[in-house]
A and B are shown apart, each in its own frame.
Chain A
Amino acid sequence: MDKDEYKKLVKEMSPKEPKFRKAVIAFAVGGFVAFLGQVVATILQLSFAIEEATSYIWLCIFTIFISSFLTALGFFDNWVSKCGCGLIIPTTGFAHSMTSSALDVKKDGLITGLGSSFFKLAGSVLLYGIIAGFFLGILGVIVYG
């Protein structure tokens, strides 16, 4: 049996991932998180007389704190494996990836561990986010002047 035949056999024997079901769950969970965010932002705007733009900054800070806190308590990862990417695509995912990396290396030294591994997962989001922002900025200047 050659490698291609073997790959075919492995594909046949490995169970198919329920992609559609996972997508629906991720969509629902992601939507629900966004809905909660909107509720909090609206409360901030109406009850605390905070401007709309500022309220979203506050919301961002809340989301980062809550997801980091839940990561530290140790059950956020279980939720993510159940809810799929609905929980990790928004700001929550970014905070979660940094907190989990930090927890992992907290005993490996402040420089050799925490300092160098803090952005292990989030680093690629930052790098490609900044690069995409740069090019979109140029595009924006060209299109809108």
Chain B
Amino acid sequence: MASKKVNNVYLKDAFSLAGPLEARGAIKDYDIIMNDYYYHEKTFEQAEIKMQKVVIENILRKYNLTPSAIDFMVAGDLSNQTSVSSYAASIYKIPFMGVYSACASFVESLIVASLLLESKRKGLALCVTSSHNLHAEKQFRFPVEYGAPKPHTTTFTATGAIATLVTKEISKIKLESYTIGTVMEMGIKDATNMGAVMAPAAAKVLVDHLVDTNRTVDYYDLILTGDLGCIGSKILKEYLKEAYNIRLKNHLDAGCELYLKSQETYAGASGPAALPLYLFNRILKQNKYKKILIIGTGSLHNVLFVNQKLPIPAIAHAVSLEVQ
């Protein structure tokens, strides 16, 4: 069974950094805003390392913690070999595990952290994730300054970094259970339509979670998917209706909500940072929802395999949060 109830694992707090475009989007009050994509570094890649460094330092400072007080760190990002996380981790000498599920990396890191923490009597873990629009553009798409006309289904990699403290101490947000997702490949080869690539994986993990926990969609006040985008969300709803006969009403997609419609970001935000940025800075601050299911969706896109005409596989992981 891919689902598991978790005993006494809580999200203590998170610190988020947002890029310039995100700061002008739907949410204004991020903890730190970075106004320049270089962030006073030489390259975009090094800027992303600094972004992770800044959020880690700030969350440690906020709770007066030294790096040695953290038992382990689980981090993920989009760069090849998750190098950004590795470089950031090399600064602090915290025992480290790198995870990669593309844009579902944040949820995967929460699952890994809760797995490791659960057997301990006390402990403190740090989950870090980041994405940088221009770094991702360079790695997955065209050169940054190259103007390629994009279709409306394209999603826009969000720039941001989030450090989350996961703990055994009781706090407001309880990590109640999780479901490990299945890789789904539905024959979509279009790298400009990631929502369509990821929607079946999101649907599969949602259905698996509901079956395993014996719940219905109405059990949750909110089902928050990661970065399907506005078009991917529509596909998810239609797919759930046709393939599983489930009608999804209490659903939001972080990618679709993160930017304003006027910002010309096509179908919305993507990237591992999109979900936690929206979760911590809007959903949890609103205090409106008690039972939240977050589904991180990741398109396991590799330029090489797409060039070899293979379809793109996708993964989604789900974590159920209870807000007290």
Contacts and interface: CB of A to CB of B under 8 A. Distances in A.
Interface of A: 1, 3-4, 6-7, 9-10, 13-15, 17, 22, 71-72, 74, 76-81, 84-85, 87-88, 96-97, 99-101, 103-105, 107, 120-121
A15 B193 CA distance: 11
A11 to B, nearest CB: 9
Interface string B134-161: 0000100011111111111100000000
A99 B147 contact: no
Given A13-B196, A77-B147, A120-B143, 10 more contacts: A3-B187, A6-B188, A7-B187, A15-B231, A76-B145, A77-B144, A81-B149, A100-B142, A104-B144, A107-B42
A1 B239 contact: yes
A99 B147 CA distance: 11
Contacts of B36: none
Contact of B146 (A6, A7, A72, A96): A96
B13 interface: no
B235 interface: yes
Contacts of B150: 81
Interface residues of B, number: 28
A13 B238 CA distance: 9
Given A10-B196, A13-B234, A104 B188 contact: no
Contacts, number: 88
Q: Is the interface of B mostly helix, strand, loop or mixed?
A: loop
B147 A80 contact: yes
Contacts of A99: 145
- Chain B CB count within 10 A is highest, among A4, A7, A79, for A7
Contact of A6 (B145, B148, B153, B200): B200
Given A3-B186, A6-B200, A14-B231, A97 B149 contact: no
Interface in B158-199: 186-188, 193, 196
A77 B43 CA distance: 20
A85 B148 CA distance: 8
Contacts of A77: 144-147
A10 B193 CA distance: 9
Nearest to A71: B145
Given A7-B187, A13-B231, A1 B145 contact: no
30 contacts: A1-B243, A3-B187, A6-B187, A7-B186, A9-B239, A9-B242, A10-B188, A13-B196, A13-B234, A13-B238, A14-B193, A15-B153, A15-B231, A22-B149, A71-B145, A72-B145, A74-B145, A77-B146, A78-B147, A80-B148, A84-B149, A87-B147, A96-B146, A100-B143, A100-B145, A101-B143, A103-B144, A104-B145, A120-B143, A121-B142
Q: Is the interface of A mostly helix, strand, loop or mixed?
A: helix
B146 A97 contact: yes
Q: Which 9 A-B pairs have the closest CB atoms?
A: A80-B147, A77-B147, A104-B143, A3-B187, A100-B146, A100-B145, A100-B143, A10-B196, A1-B243
Contacts of B193: 10, 14
A121 B147 contact: no
Interface in B244-266: none
A81 B146 CA distance: 9
B152 to A, nearest CB: 5
Interface string B293-319: 000000000000000000000000000
Given A3-B186, A13-B235, A15-B231, A100 B144 contact: yes
Contacts of A76: 145, 147
Contacts of A14: 152-153, 193, 196, 231, 235
Contacts of A80: 147-149
Nearest to A79: B147
Contacts of B243: 1
Nearest to A16: B152
A88 B142 CA distance: 14
Contact of B145 (A22, A85, A103): A103
Contacts of B234: 13
- Chain A CB count within 10 A is highest, among B145, B152, B193, B242, for B145
A97 B145 CA distance: 9
A95 B150 CA distance: 20
Nearest to B242: A1
B188 to A, nearest CB: 7
